[in-house]
Amino acid sequence: MKSAVIVFPGSNCDRDAHDAIERVTGQAPAMVWHQETALPEGTDFVMVPGGFSYGDYLRCGAMASHSAIMPAIIAHAATGAPILGVCNGFQILTECGLLPGALMRNAQLKFICEETPITVANANTRFTSRYSANAKLIIPIAHHDGNYFADNETLIGLENEGQVVFRYGANPNGSANDIAGLINEQGNVLGMMPHPERAVDAKHGGTDGLALFESLLGSA
């Protein structure tokens, strides 16, 4: 599977994303600058990484969602191709309409950087097939605006359709229904605030994020 990682001004997890993908596939992903207007030919998987695109000015992910590469990503998602947005990437995917809801300021109005427990709420997705149902994971978080919000009708729909993929074990930011990650209705776009790409190497603190990339990309 050919992969691409999108790089915005202010991205700071693009190298972690690169290394996680290369670890699993044995093939380095293309690093695509946000001003490009097309994905590399033959791209299958696209990852929109974490960071602070455009310094989080205006609203987290809002400016990045209008970058030149975004129409290509939206069109790619429409084909059913897998898209993963982590942290700022999740914010960007909500801002551009690929995922419902919004990421608001953390309830305690403070930046949070810590390892946090999350639960696999749906193991029957292309992103989580190598996890067991209700698996307990420890994944790092690092955000100021990770408080997931959606109206009640949207939340009910997400729950009923199994679109909630990850939940916080101890809600760190006030997210509705303890939502840490969710997929779109088609099941090919995942957004999550925790950083699985930072949990793929035991030497760096843990490997609980590895199965996400293995589920999607297969073992090298």
Cite the active site residues: 87, 195, 197
Task: Please give the structure tokens belonging to residue 94.
Answer: 């909500």
**For 28, which DSSP code?**
P
Query: Which alpha helices (H) appear in 26-151, and where do they start and end?
Result: 70-78, 88-95
User: 167: which strand partners?
Assistant: 119, 179
**For 3, which DSSP code?**
E
Distance of CA 168 to the CA centre of its chain: 15
The dihedrals phi and psi of 24, each to the nearest 5 degrees, come to -85, -40
Taking Cα atoms as reference points, which of 169, 50, 56 lies closest to residue 118?
A: 169
- Within 8 A by CB and 6+ apart from 90, the residues are 61, 99, 103, 181, 191, 192, 193
Q: Rounded CA gap, 7 and 163, in Å?
A: 27
Helix (H, G, I), strand (E, B) or coil at 1: coil
- Contact between 78 and 56 under an 8 Å Cβ cutoff? The reply is no
Q: Rounded CA gap, 169 and 157, in Å?
A: 22
